[in-house]
Amino acid sequence: MEFRTDLSYTKSHEWVKLEEDTATIGITDYAQDALGDLVFVNLPEEGDEVEAEAVFADVESVKAVSDIYSPVTGVVSEVNEELLDSPEMINESAYDAWFIRVDNVTDHTEFMTAEEYEAYVENEQE
């Protein structure tokens, strides 16, 4: 299981890279592993507003669909459309397979460091 130290993490298993008021968001390596082979991802559109702790996307495996929660409030500036054709990228490298970039970030949920998130995940597994 990989935990990258340059990223922030949420309790609902998203990772965030926040640079000034722009955030790049994806799901964690732990999340992709728990969800299993992903077959599709529903993404928002550019210009959509996202809100911290609200659903902004969902990911599909063969027999399940799971909501993905936004760690930040802001406006979607870019969407990783590659994931639409190749959802396996999320399973292969969760931290490179970003979902969206958000500009004008005004608020965010509580973040964890890599270390804290690792402990949180271990705790959750028990």
Partner 1 sequence: MGTYVPNTLPQQQDMLKEMGLSSMEDLFAHIPEEVKYQGPLDLPEGRSEMEVLAEMEDIAGKNRVFRSIFRGAGAYHHYIPAMVGHVLSNETLQTAYTPYQAEISQGVLQSIFEYQTGICELTGMDVSNASVYDGATAAAEALAMCRERKRNKALVSAAVQPGVLETIRTYCFGSGMELAVIPEKDGLTDLDALASMIDEETACVYLQHPNYYGRLEDAARAGEIIHETKAKYILGVNPLSLGILKTPAEYGADVAVGDGQPLGLPLAFGGPYLGFMASTDAMKRKLPGRIVGQTMDAEGKRGYVLTLQAREQHIRREKASSNICSNQALCALAVGVYLAAMGPEGLAEAARQCTAKAHYFAEKLEEIGFTVEQGEFFHEFVTSSAKPAADILAALEEAGILGGLPLDEHRILWCCTEMNSRKDMDEAVSILKEVV
Partner 2 sequence: MLIYEKSRQGRGSSLLPACDVPDHPLPEKDLRAEAPGLPQVSEVDLSRHYTELAHKAHGVNDGFYPLGSCTMKYNPRINEKTAALPGFTGVHPLQPESTVQGCLQVLKETGEALSAITGMEAFTFQPAAGAHGEFTGLLLIMAYHQANGQTQRTKIIVPDSAHGTNPASAVMAGMSVINVDSDESGCVDVAKLRELCESEEGQEIAGLMLTNPNTAGLFDPNILEITRIIHDCGGQVYYDGANLNAVMGIARPADMGFDCVHLNLHKTFSTPHGGGGPGAGPVGCRAHLAPFLPGKTVEEKDGVLTLAKPAQSLGEMKDFYGNFLVAVKALTYIKTLGAEGILSASQNAVLNANYMMAKLRDLYDIAFDTKVCMHEFVMDLSRLLKETGVSAMDIAKGLLDHGIHPPTMYFPLTVHEALMVEPTETESRETLDWAIGVLRDLHQLAHTDPEALHQAPVTTPVRRLDEVGAARHPVLRYTREEA
Query: Which residue do the tokens 């760690």 mark?
Result: 71
87 binds, among partner 2, partner 1, none (CB under 5 to 8 A by kind): partner 2
CB 45 within 8 A of CB 78: no
3-state DSSP helix/strand/coil % of the chain, to nearest 5: 20, 40, 35
Outline where the chain has alpha helix (H).
Answer: 29-35, 82-85, 88-92, 114-125
> What is the closest distance, in whole angstroms, from the C-beta atom of residue 104 to partner 1 in the complex?
20
Residue type, 120: Y
Residue 40 within binding range of partner 1, rule CB under 8 A: yes
Residue 39 within binding range of partner 2, rule CB under 8 A: yes
> What is the closest distance, in whole angstroms, from the C-beta atom of residue 117 to partner 2 in the complex?
27
- Tell the burial category of 105 from Cβ atoms under 10 Å away from its Cβ (0-12, 13-18, 19+): buried
Contact pattern from residue 85 through residue 124 relative to partner 1, giving x for each residue in contact according to CB under 8 A and a dash for the rest: ----------------------------------------
Q: Which of 2, 33, 54, 65 binds partner 1 (CB under 8 A)?
A: 65
> What is the closest distance, in whole angstroms, from the C-beta atom of residue 63 to partner 2 in the complex?
8
